[in-house]
Amino acid sequence: MDGPMAPARNLRIDGDRLWDSLMEMAKIGPGVAGGNNRQTLTDADGEGRALFQRWCEAAGMTMGVDRIGNMFARREGTEEGPAVYLGSHLDTQPTGGKYDGVLGVLGGLEVIRTLNDLGVKTRRPIVVTNWTNEEGTRFAPAMLASGVFAGVHTQDWCEDRTDAEGKRFGDELDRIGWRGDEEVGARRDDIHSFLELHIEQGPILEAEGRDIGVVTHGQGLSWTQVTVTGKDSHTGSTPMPMRRDAGLGMARILQAVNEIALSHAPHAVGAAGHIDVHPNSRNVIPGRVVFTVDFRSPDLSVIEDMEARLRTEGQRIADEMGLGIAFEKVGGFDPVAFDEGCVAAVRGAAERLGYSHMDIISGAGHDACWINRVGPTAMIMCPCVDGLSHNEAEEISKDWATAGTDVLLHAALERAEVVA
């Protein structure tokens, strides 16, 4: 026997209906290779939003939209008071898949449809959300509108973001007609819980043969830009002992970066993804190299340790080689520890439903990482084929989508409390 608040094990979502909705949404903003190009605040985004709204209203929900286009479809509870929020994002990368983000929004809708079918009432209202511009490709940064909602960015700053053609976020929002009248973040206190179902976008769950990832943490990130200065000189005529080779300095520092990350195995990672070599000519020893070291870990103290050791090791290597070196922190965000109660609801739901599951750390950023600042939050992940995402070939199975949404249903019901 489950606890009094635990919904019956046989309560399941309709996997076929969920899948049909995913396929229907994927027809809007098709990509060139079977995926989607439904970038934020394009005409296709507007169409996708309209379809989502029609579906929500057909399911008896009322739609609220805030001044930066975040959508909130509400199913009433039997009592007033804070609601359980479910959702993710409908925008995609320019060469994106059909499930990244979309599964979390339409999974939320499927939860409501299931409750309607079975006549299940909840004490707390349930709200299904679509956060504007999660992807951040058209308007940087990613998770922009959930960030404004959570108070990380201001609304003005968000509206002034421009795309590659110089078009403003605020103007494009007006153009597609999705500026609502709700003050952004006005509902912060209305969030009893937020649950985001998302595809893993990595290979771990599939490799481990698990249906469900119970996301306990979001990885933190630190970017340190390193400038190593030597002397440009001829690659042929400069004797080896007289060289001040900034390229070699960088190579030795990157070796240290690798060792530093490995010293915090298995969760810490480190690499330089961006490298500029000057003058970048075949027959000139590099006189200056600028590169950005990307360290990530779910543990803030580990990130701080890696940053500090990069500076000490980098300085030591530069001194040894007669090179100049400068460090500048150019970006980052702190790791996220999701709410224990929400995480337990997800784990308990997977357990009760008999789905194989494991705890997992999100390597990518998600709207949930910002919303966790203003309300108890957790994430559910389902596997994706070969871990592939941000690619039109992104694929999941109907069974995985169904399992993830079943867990979303049961976790939501635990948080919203079924009325007998």
Q: Residue 291 or 370: which CB sits closer to Zn ion?
A: 370
What residue number has its CB nearest to Zn ion?
101
Closest approach of Zn ion to the CB of residue 173, in Å: 20
200 binds Zn ion (CB under 5 A): no
Q: Residue 309 or 390: which CB sits closer to Zn ion?
A: 390
Closest approach of Zn ion to the CB of residue 94, in Å: 14
77 binds Zn ion (CB under 5 A): no
Give the 3-state secondary structure of residue 240. helix
How far is 26 from 106, CA to CA, in rounded Å?
11
Other CB atoms within 10 Å distance of the CB of residue 2: 11
12: buried, middle or exposed (CB in 10 Å: 19+, 13-18, 0-12)?
Answer: middle
DSSP-derived letter for residue 168 is B
Task: Calculate the dihedral angle through the C-alpha atoms of 4, 7, 10, 12, rounding to the nearest 10 degrees.
Answer: 180
Nearest by Cα to 144 from 102, 107, 135, 319: 135
**Which residue of 48, 77, 101, 348 would you call a contact of Zn ion, by CB under 5 A?**
101
Q: Give the 3-state DSSP-derived string for 95-143, with helices as H, strands as E and coil as C.
A: CECCCCCHHHHHHHHHHHHHHHHHCCEECCCEEEEECCCCCCCCCCCCC
* Span of 42-50, 58-66, 76-84, 92-100 interacting with Zn ion by CB under 5 A: 92-100
* Span of 101-109, 170-178, 241-249, 298-306 interacting with Zn ion by CB under 5 A: 101-109
Q: Residue 142 or 325: which CB sits closer to Zn ion?
A: 142
Closest approach of Zn ion to the CB of residue 48, in Å: 14
**Which residue of 100, 245, 392, 394 would you call a contact of Zn ion, by CB under 5 A?**
100
**Under rule CB under 5 A, how many of the chain's residues touch Zn ion?**
2
Closest approach of Zn ion to the CB of residue 89, in Å: 6
> Exposed e or buried b for every residue in 203-213, given b needs 16+ CB within 10 A?
ebbbeeebbbb
* Span of 54-62, 65-73, 93-101, 140-148 interacting with Zn ion by CB under 5 A: 93-101
Closest approach of Zn ion to the CB of residue 101, in Å: 4
Q: Residue 100 or 392: which CB sits closer to Zn ion?
A: 100
- Helix 102-118 vs helix 398-416: crossing angle, to nearest 10: 60
Nearest by Cα to 191 from 243, 116, 131: 131
Closest approach of Zn ion to the CB of residue 326, in Å: 35
110 binds Zn ion (CB under 5 A): no
* Span of 95-103, 171-179, 219-227, 286-294 interacting with Zn ion by CB under 5 A: 95-103
Closest approach of Zn ion to the CB of residue 364, in Å: 7
279: buried, middle or exposed (CB in 10 Å: 19+, 13-18, 0-12)?
Answer: exposed
Q: Which helix (H) or strand (E) holds 87?
A: strand 83-88
Nearest by Cα to 133 from 48, 194, 19: 48
Structure-token match 């929004």, residue found: 105
| Phi-psi group of 263: left, alpha or beta (phi > 0 → left; psi -120 to 50 → alpha; rest → beta) | alpha
- The answer, yes or no, to whether the previous bond of 266 is cis (omega within 30 of 0) is yes
How far is 269 from 44, CA to CA, in rounded Å?
36
**Which residues are registered as beta bridge partners of 9?**
none
Q: Residue 101 or 125: which CB sits closer to Zn ion?
A: 101
* Span of 42-50, 96-104, 151-159, 242-250 interacting with Zn ion by CB under 5 A: 96-104
Closest approach of Zn ion to the CB of residue 377, in Å: 15
Closest approach of Zn ion to the CB of residue 102, in Å: 9
Nearest by Cα to 360 from 371, 370, 350: 350
Q: Residue 65 or 199: which CB sits closer to Zn ion?
A: 199
| Phi-psi group of 200: left, alpha or beta (phi > 0 → left; psi -120 to 50 → alpha; rest → beta) | alpha
Q: Residue 243 or 366: which CB sits closer to Zn ion?
A: 366
Give the 3-state secondary structure of residue 26. helix
Query: Between residue 290 and residue 319, which ones bind Zn ion under the rule CB under 5 A?
Result: none
* Span of 94-102, 137-145, 251-259, 345-353 interacting with Zn ion by CB under 5 A: 94-102
Q: Residue 101 or 230: which CB sits closer to Zn ion?
A: 101
Closest approach of Zn ion to the CB of residue 144, in Å: 13
Q: Residue 114 or 405: which CB sits closer to Zn ion?
A: 405
* Span of 100-108, 175-183, 188-196, 337-345 interacting with Zn ion by CB under 5 A: 100-108
Q: Residue 101 or 213: which CB sits closer to Zn ion?
A: 101
Nearest by Cα to 49 from 187, 161, 180: 180
Contact positions vs Zn ion (CB under 5 A): 100-101
